[in-house]
């Protein structure tokens, strides 16, 4: 099937590569000529597991890149809209790029097209796309609109696309429904996973996804409701962690007890410094704003947002309590991306904490396995960049863990202690057990658990002099 994907950002690029992997002929179009040139030459703008392999496998045959969305639309039967919908200053999703694409599609339709909204958009956006197409000269008989929300997690986006839990298609005609089933057929019948050389199937993946056909309005709402619920789950467990600290309970034990309830589940029940990235903050804000527009004040989401922001403040308070004044203190920081498995620093709680530490006069040394370049675009020369975790710890008054990279959970603790000026570790992701850190002689502070004092809380110089 000939498919056009308009937008070569995170969602568009992953969707285009994966649709080509399913055997379709895909053109990924973007007005950014520099980005298109880079993609055509094999340079990839984002860090995502398996994406480079797919682009190398299909580029030039099943997948091409174009700077002319109009030409891509003319050649396609199905057109995916995958442009950005950033958060505006007032919290609403900015759909101006979706509107611009709709106008461009209207001038390029020749023959019947299926227009698929893949971007995360507010409720009623599909109605506006239809209205825009008609106002810009399209005959209503020449197109159908589908809402097909993405459920991709950064760090596992390719496997999420190719081995989904569910596929949601908001349709309004049998023709549209039939086309969407054809697009995803290799996933719906499980045949993709049986082919040789495919992206490996995760152990937790289902054999066949749930395929859910809904109304357009329901599909749009499903995406927002999913992300808002997951954000709520994170904020809930962070609020419980704060209670744990007040009463002397251990959030790890509480999470195990709560998460073992099958009605709740353990996923997203992990205390820390809060959620970030390009989805949860934007989508929660957009859902709140859209609900207000339709006459409902979603106060629960106001509290979800407040708790999330407060987690950064609480962690900074822990740093101050461990070190007293931060002015002139040398701090090693592990992690800049908003989560592991990605180089994305948008709305990263780690980056926000680093910026706050700089404002308080801290001297910061940072390391992240993937996000250093993107972080440098934000932090500039205000921090020192090093090439591994141990270099970040060397000579620091304390070591801060701000992103849950697996390699940060497997550090040589004896080496870390020897490198630090003071044996202080502040773990914003609860990657270690307090007893383990105490055994290593480290003064350990985490989220939702009692601080674990070091066996020898003296400066390295004092220990050496003794």
For the stretch 292-313, pLDDT in tens is 888 999 999 999 999 999 999 9
CATH number, domain at 133? 3.40.50.720
- Judgement on whether residues 204 and 312 belong to the same structural domain of the protein: no
Residues 6+ apart with CB under 8 A from 418: 460
**Are the beta carbons of 215 and 170 closer than 8 angstroms?**
yes
The two beta strands, 143-147 and 330-334, are unpaired
Supply φ then ψ for residue 348, to 5 degrees: -75, 125
Please check whether residues 313 and 200 belong to one and the same domain: no
- Cα–Cα distance, 347 to 383 (Å, whole number): 18
Which of 160, 195, 214 terminates a domain? The answer is 214
Average pLDDT over residues 63-88: 93
Residue 116 located in a structural domain: yes
**Each residue of 190-221: pLDDT tens digit?**
999 999 999 999 998 998 999 999 999 999 99
Q: Is residue 437 very low, low, confident or very high in pLDDT (cuts 50, 70, 90)?
A: very high
Write down the residue that tokens 């080509």 correspond to: 20
Output the six-digit token pair for 383: 């921090």
DSSP string, 410-432: G--HHHHHHH-SS-EEEETT--S
pLDDT attached to residue 121: 85
- What is the spatial distance between Cα 378 and Cα 274, in angstroms, rounded to a whole number? 20
The pLDDT of 176-194, averaged and rounded, is 97
pLDDT at 455: 58
Domain count, the chain: 2
Same-domain check for residues 196 and 319: no
**Do residues 26 and 166 share a domain?**
yes
The reply to whether 198 and 317 lie within a common domain is no
Percent of the chain with pLDDT over 90: 85
28 pLDDT above the threshold of 60? yes
Q: Are residues 36 and 178 in the same domain?
A: yes
Q: By 3-state DSSP, what share of the chain in percent is helix, strand and coil, each rounded to 5? A: 45, 15, 40
Domain boundary among 153, 181, 214: 214
Residues 55 and 177 in one domain: yes
| pLDDT confidence of residue 94 | 86
Distance CA 63, CA 65 (A): 7
Confidence of residue 454 (pLDDT cuts 50, 70, 90): low
Q: Is 67 exposed, middle or buried (0-12, 13-18, 19+ CB in 10 A)?
A: middle
Report yes or no on 226 lying in a domain. Answer: no
415 lies in some domain = yes
Q: Domain for residue 424, yes or no? A: yes
Give the containing element (helix H, strand E) for 330.
strand 330-334
> For residue 377, is pLDDT > 80?
yes
Residues 186 and 321 in one domain: no
Of 90-94, 167-171, 324-328, least confident by mean pLDDT is 90-94
pLDDT per residue as tens digits for the range 338-359: 999 999 999 999 999 999 999 9
Angstrom distance (rounded) from CA 429 to CA 112: 50
Last residue of a domain, one of 185, 214, 243: 214
Do residues 323 and 205 both lie within one domain?
no
| Domain enclosing residue 153, as ranges | 2-214
The answer to whether residue 220 is domain-embedded is: no
In a domain, 247, yes or no: no
Per-residue pLDDT band at 269 (split at 50, 70, 90): very high
Q: Active-site residue 279, yes or no?
A: yes
DSSP-derived letter for residue 198 is P
Residue 456 has pLDDT above 90, yes or no: no
Does 108 reside within a domain? yes
Task: Give the separation between CA 384 and CA 434, rounded to whole angstroms.
Answer: 29
Q: Are residues 71 and 206 in the same domain?
A: yes
Distance CA 126, CA 119 (A): 11
Mean pLDDT over 438-463 rounds to: 75
Alpha-carbon span 244 to 449, nearest angstrom = 7
Rounded CA-CA distance 126/139 in Å is 16
- Which of 6-15, 105-114, 235-244 is predicted with the least confidence, judged by mean pLDDT? 105-114
Q: Is residue 183 part of a domain?
A: yes
């Amino acid at each position: 099937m000939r498919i056009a994907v308009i937008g070569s950002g995170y969602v568009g690029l992953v969707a285009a590569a994966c649709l080509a992997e399913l055997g379709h002929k895909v053109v990924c179009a973007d007005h950014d000529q520099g980005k298109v040139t880079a993609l055509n030459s094999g340079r990839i703008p984002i860090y995502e597991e398996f994406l480079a392999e797919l682009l190398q496998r299909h580029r030039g045959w099943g997948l091409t890149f174009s700077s002319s969305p109009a030409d891509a639309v003319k050649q396609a039967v199905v057109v995916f809209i995958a442009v950005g919908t950033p958060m505006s200053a007032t919290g609403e999703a900015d759909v101006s790029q979706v509107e611009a694409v709709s106008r461009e599609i209207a001038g390029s339709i020749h023959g019947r097209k299926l227009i698929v909204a893949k971007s995360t958009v507010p409720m009623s956006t599909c109605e506006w796309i239809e209205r825009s197409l008609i106002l810009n000269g399209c005959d209503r008989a020449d197109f159908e609109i589908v809402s097909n929300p993405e459920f991709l997690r950064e760090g596992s986006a390719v496997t999420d696309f190719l081995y989904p839990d569910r596929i949601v298609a908001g349709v309004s005609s049998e023709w549209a429904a039939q086309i969407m089933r054809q697009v995803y057929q290799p996933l719906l019948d499980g045949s993709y996973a049986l082919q040789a050389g495919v992206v490996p199937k995760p152990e937790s993946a289902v054999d066949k996804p749930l395929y859910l056909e809904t109304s357009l309005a329901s599909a749009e709402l499903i995406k927002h409701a999913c992300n808002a619920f997951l954000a709520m789950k994170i904020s809930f467990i962070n609020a419980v962690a704060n209670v744990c600290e007040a009463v002397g309970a251990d959030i790890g034990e509480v999470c195990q007890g709560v998460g073992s309830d099958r009605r709740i589940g353990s996923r997203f029940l992990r205390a820390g410094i809060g959620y970030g990235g390009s989805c949860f903050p934007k989508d929660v804000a957009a859902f709140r704003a859209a609900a207000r527009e339709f006459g409902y004040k979603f106060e629960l989401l106001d509290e979800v947002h407040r708790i999330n922001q407060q987690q950064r403040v609480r962690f900074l308070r822990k740093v101050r309590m461990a070190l007293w004044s931060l002015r002139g203190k040398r701090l090693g920081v592990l992690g800049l991306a908003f989560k592991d498995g990605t180089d994305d620093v948008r709305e990263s709680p780690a980056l926000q904490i680093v910026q706050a530490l700089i404002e308080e006069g801290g001297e910061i040394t940072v390391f992240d396995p993937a996000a250093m370049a993107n972080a440098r675009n934000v932090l500039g020369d205000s921090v020192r960049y090093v090439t591994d975790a141990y270099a970040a710890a060397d000579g620091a008054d304390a070591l801060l863990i701000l992103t849950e990279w697996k390699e940060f959970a497997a550090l040589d603790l004896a080496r870390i202690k020897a490198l630090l000026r003071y044996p202080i570790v502040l773990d914003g992701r609860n990657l270690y057990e307090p007893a383990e850190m105490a055994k290593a002689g480290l003064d350990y502070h985490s989220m939702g658990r009692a601080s674990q004092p070091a066996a020898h809380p003296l400066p390295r110089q004092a220990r050496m002099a003794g």
